[in-house]
Amino acid sequence: MISTELKLPCGVRLKNRLVKSAMTERISNKNFEPTKGHERLYKDWSDTGAGLLITGNVVIDHKHLESAGNVCFDETMLPKISSWAEASKSNGNQVWVQISHSGRQANKFSTSRPLAPSEVQLKKMGLFGKPKAMTEEDIQEVIKGFVRTAKLAKEGGFTGVQIHAAHGYLLSQFLSPNTNLRTDQWGGNIENRSRLLLTIIKEVRKEVGPEFPIAVKLNSADFQRGGFTEEESLEVVKMLDKESIDLLEISGGTYEKLAFFIMNEEGAEIKESTKRREAYFIDFAKKIRTISKMPLMITGGFRSYDFCNEVLENGEVDLIGMGRPFITNKDDISAFLKGEVPNLENLVLRTGIKQFEDSAEGGFYARQLIRFSKGKKLKVNMSPLWCSMFLVIYEFRKAMAKKF
């Protein structure tokens, strides 16, 4: 089943059901442009045979970076965008641009006063400034930014876009009652908190036309008291079902509570039955199936060939999203698609210090992507403590290089 074709509502066909989900590359140049490293990295991923590749964050505003190495499209870099897209689809696969705005999750290296729905600061490692509540003009500029980036993605040869409304980025901040305290048309009940996401989808569709894929990445929940809940997520799904969406990807968590670590901790919030079944969000996917007919993808936890085929054959999902196996098992993906490799690596890095675990894992995988972009191989033997410090040091160096 994983090797079968899937036709999307817009008419585009994916050659199989395996997706390389978004992972931040952190390798743009000082002008926020894609580089030869992007071309090398995505050519390798295209050669795995996966039916769809989704890029890491392409931000709409270079003052609100998710990472100092983010790409931020503008018209002057169309030749470089085109080169990246061409390398990325060299094996007959689809390649979609993930479009995002970091909101309050833009770190201090890019802005000390990020824009956000409300002035609710992200307090983690002292890396994030107090946000400014967005004006109506700011909101309209964000809408235009998503539309502009989608337009450039299409003109540059990418074959679709994904609108990032998960993981605590700006659109996710608007959805959450913890971070959206507004009392105007953009805040309050779930219909108002969803307004920005739905408006962006409508405007992007007008720009790219009916035959160009648009996906949405949505949290199942924030896993925080008083935050975006599963019940509210299902309400948003019902609204999305009325729009011309070609794929819904389900994930979860924010910078304050990362889903991956919730799912891997003992006594965590996930059911034991779900742990045994690999996929983190499979129970939530079943709930979506009762209210929506949109093509559905889950990212997180898939590692075995048999289980991927089981959930596809059962109709629980339409696509299998994987991130880290495209790093740890990049050279095994093509054989996995044929059933010749039954299981992919589930590499977990631990420092033994709880406060450093998420940064150690993040640093480890970030370093591997940077290595791949330079034509180097996977390096498993890395110091967990050094990896835990890597992202802050790397962000600082990249930010300084862009300024000078």
Residue 196: which CATH number? Answer: 3.20.20.70
Question: What local confidence, expressed as pLDDT, does residue 255 receive?
Answer: 64
Query: Which has more pLDDT, 357 or 87?
Result: 87
Residue position matching structure tokens 């040091």 = 393
% the chain with pLDDT above 70: 92
Q: What is the mean pLDDT of residues 277-288?
A: 84
Q: Residue 287: is its pLDDT beyond 50?
A: yes
Q: Which of 169-173, 209-213, 321-325, 399-403 has the lowest mean pLDDT?
A: 399-403
In a domain, 157, yes or no: yes
Q: Residue 273: is its pLDDT beyond 70?
A: no
- The pair of structure tokens assigned to 190 is 């779930």
Q: Note down the domain range covering 309.
A: 6-348
Query: Which has more pLDDT, 188 or 352?
Result: 188
Q: Which of 27-31, 119-123, 250-254, 366-370 has the lowest mean pLDDT?
A: 250-254
Residue position matching structure tokens 């910078």 = 255
Residue position matching structure tokens 């490293």 = 37
pLDDT digits 0-9 by tens, 233-261: 999 999 999 998 999 999 876 665 554 44
In a domain, 356, yes or no: no
Question: What local confidence, expressed as pLDDT, does residue 262 receive?
Answer: 37
In a domain, 197, yes or no: yes
Question: What local confidence, expressed as pLDDT, does residue 256 receive?
Answer: 57
3 state SS for the chain: CCCCCEECCCCCEECCCEEECCCCCCCCCCCCCCCHHHHHHHHHHHCCCCCEEECCCEECCCCCCCCCCCECCCHHHHHHHHHHHHHHCCCCCEEEEEEECCHHHCCCCCCCCCEECCCCCCCCCCCCCCCEECCHHHHHHHHHHHHHHHHHHHHCCCCEEEEEECCCCHHHHHHCCCCCCCCCCCCCCHHHHCHHHHHHHHHHHHHHCCCCCEEEEEECCCCCCCCCCHHHHHHHHHHHCCCCCCEEEEECECCCCEHHHHHHCCCCCCCHHHHHCCCCCHHHHHHHHCCCCCCEEEECCCCEHHHHHHHHHCCCCCEEEECCHHHHCHHHHHHHHCCCCCECCCCCCCCCCHHHHHHHHHHHHHHHHHHHHCCCCCCCCCCHHHHHHHHHHHHHHHHHHHHC
Query: Which has more pLDDT, 234 or 400?
Result: 234
Q: What is the mean pLDDT of residues 189-194?
A: 98
Q: What is the mean pLDDT of residues 180-204?
A: 98
In a domain, 244, yes or no: yes
Contact at 8 Å (CB) between 346 and 317?
A: no
Question: What local confidence, expressed as pLDDT, does residue 105 receive?
Answer: 94
- Exposure string of 184-213, with b = 16+ CB inside 10 Å and e = fewer, is eebbeebebbbbbbbbbbeebbeebeeebb
**Other CB atoms within 10 A of residue 342 CB:** 11
CA atoms within 13 A on the CB side of 255: 21
Question: What local confidence, expressed as pLDDT, does residue 177 receive?
Answer: 95
- The pair of structure tokens assigned to 221 is 């929940």
In a domain, 385, yes or no: no
For CA atoms 19, 25, 29, 35, give the dihedral sign: negative
In a domain, 370, yes or no: no
Gap between the Cα atoms of 365 and 362, Å rounded: 5
Judging by DSSP bridges, how do beta strands 52-54 and 160-165 pair with one another? unpaired
Question: What local confidence, expressed as pLDDT, does residue 259 receive?
Answer: 45
- The rounded mean pLDDT for the chain is 91
Query: Which has more pLDDT, 253 or 194?
Result: 194
Cα separation values, 270 from 233, 262, 278, Å: 17, 8, 11
pLDDT digits 0-9 by tens, 387-396: 989 988 988 8
Q: Residue 272: is its pLDDT beyond 90?
A: no
Domain count, the chain: 1
Which candidate, 191, 205, 70, places its Cα nearest to that of 150?
A: 205
Q: What is the mean pLDDT of residues 152-162?
A: 98
In a domain, 97, yes or no: yes
Q: Residue 380: is its pLDDT beyond 50?
A: yes
Question: What local confidence, expressed as pLDDT, does residue 51 receive?
Answer: 98
In a domain, 331, yes or no: yes
| Distance spanning both ends of the chain, measured CA to CA | 51
pLDDT digits 0-9 by tens, 51-64: 999 999 999 999 99
